[in-house]
Amino acid sequence: MASAARTVPAEAALVSYEAFCAKYRPLYARYAAARLESAGHGADVADTVLSGFARCWAEALTCASPAAVVWKLFTGTVESSARRPARPVTALPCPQADTVILRHRLGLAPEAAAEVMGISASEFSTLHQAALRALSAPQ
């Protein structure tokens, strides 16, 4: 995970981890609930992923985008937790489907949705526009 030779003091990492969880856990739980069609299961998956990340959070902080690292693990866990394909927009690649879910099911602004995914606003916009084009294309 590390992309730089820097280290983060344990106390700073703990404070950062707690702030990250406070900010993103509710959104992760809502996203997982939407994908898994169960608020309880969604909350459990969000808690499991975030708890698991506590052990390597200091290392994640050395990455260009810790949020992107967590999002990738989180969405993979949501997908593997589903009894059936968890993407309601199954015709789309996962990142594109995620943009639709975050924007249209959860009602996040593009900037907020990009931040949750750990990507730039322009990358989010590109993925979202591609998703909308694919969804509006004749079958």
Question: What pLDDT score does 11 carry?
Answer: 85
Q: What is the pLDDT of residues 44-72, one digit of tens each?
A: 999 999 999 998 899 889 999 999 999 99
CB crowding 21-48: b at 16 or more within 10 Å, else e: beebeebbbbbbbbbbebeebbbbbbee
As given in the structure block, the two tokens for residue 39 are: 């608020």
